[in-house]
Amino acid sequence: MSIHRSVHRFSTLIVILAFLMSFLALTTPVYAATLFVDGVLGTNAAGCGTAPGASACQTITYTLTNVAANGDTINVASGTYSETFNINKSITLKGAQAGADARTRTAVPETILNVANLTSPIGLFVDNIVIDGFTVQSQFDNGQAGLYSVPQHSGYQVLNNIIKNNVMGFYFNASGAIQSVAKFNLFKNNNRPGAAGGNGIYEDQGLKNALIDNNTFIEDTTPPNNANNNCGILITATVAGVVANVTVSNNDLSNANAVGVLFALADTVSVTGNTFENGEFNDIQILGAVNKATISGNTFHSPIRRNVIVVDSTIAGSPGPNTNTVITNNTFNYNAGTIDTSNPGGFNTPAIIDMRSPQGTNTISGNTITLFGTSAGGGGVQLFWRSARHRYRQ
């Protein structure tokens, strides 16, 4: 009897131990790895990527496909990498200048993603991807960008990158489930010929819960490349409801493009704290079907060659009326002698604010307008407002 009980207890103990071991195996955390890529010293082989130098993998593509897992960080050494890839894992990809503000850094070792003559951009295809500290350049393929994020996912962070000499810079789409951020980047000369070309940041597939903050936009103004200039930031859509809660803040668009910032078919957007100067056309354009656009705290500088802020749904191709626009606490400094009265782009004499046929409750308040010099054309500064219901306080 005692032997039977002992065997029973021993069997029970074995079962309990087996259960505990299985539980521990399931609950033991899998720690994220730090991996390394070196285009000169590395080798694409089993076991690569564990350390810098000779132990590194040679290409980013191999590391992503064969070594990396969700949550990993990949450190890419300085040098030029002529490859393009789609990132299908939630990883952090760091170049040699990770953490160094791309707007101000000078000639230092860069990790260059050279996508020249490649048929696709670098693609962000899952949630929570970080791209930090690279130069992304020379995407000349028609309709392609240096970087592309898909609209089905979010949580993208594009930080501290120089994005230059592409058809367009960053094709920025996101679902909005997690905030996506583009910050501390330099967008330069992204106006090579091609569909949707001439835009630093472009979107037309959907963008929600996004922050575009503290970037600099510079475009090539020399012929023939200046013929391809479009917008520093262009956010639009083909259907309603896919663009919402987008903030454009604290960016330098002093030499951005023909238009600094353009929104169309969007809901609840903000353009705040930005600097505009030397644009070729309009600084901010709310093209149509935009509800709750807030334009506040921006600074606009001389000269006037075009309208400064345009909220106009009467332009050909506009998707519908704009509603509930707020323009407040902006600062305008302009040389009246530079006003161009030649009716550029089909508009009337250039105006500080040109608002046409808005709907809902629209407010202009608290703005400061400073003019100096004498108007050469006599057009001066005009405010156009055609609305059944509005508030105007200046």
Find out whether the peptide bond into 344 is cis, omega within 30 degrees of 0.
no
Per-residue confidence (pLDDT) for residue 201, from 0 to 100: 96
Per-residue confidence (pLDDT) for residue 371, from 0 to 100: 72
Q: What does the domain layout of the chain look like in residue ranges?
A: 32-72, 73-392
Per-residue confidence (pLDDT) for residue 191, from 0 to 100: 85
Residues 314-347 pLDDT 10s: 777 778 899 999 999 999 887 655 544 444 444 4
Please list, in sequence order, all residues whose beta carbon lies within 8 angstroms of the beta carbon of residue 133, skipping any fewer than 6 positions away: 94, 95, 96, 97, 98, 99, 100, 102, 111, 159, 160, 161
**Could you say which residues of the chain have pLDDT below 50?**
1, 3, 5-8, 10, 13, 28, 339-348, 376-381, 387-394
Residues 198-221 pLDDT 10s: 899 999 999 999 999 999 999 876
Per-residue confidence (pLDDT) for residue 347, from 0 to 100: 42
Per-residue confidence (pLDDT) for residue 344, from 0 to 100: 43
262: three-class secondary structure by DSSP = strand
Quick one: residue 9, left, alpha or beta (phi over 0 = left, psi -120 to 50 = alpha)? alpha
Per-residue confidence (pLDDT) for residue 1, from 0 to 100: 47
Kindly report the pTM of this predicted structure: 0.87
Domain 73-392 sits in which CATH superfamily? Single-stranded right-handed beta-helix, Pectin lyase-like (2.160.20.10)
Asked if residue 349 lies in contact with residue 375, where contact means CB atoms within 8 angstroms, the answer is no
Per-residue confidence (pLDDT) for residue 356, from 0 to 100: 78
Asked if residue 360 lies in contact with residue 324, where contact means CB atoms within 8 angstroms, the answer is yes
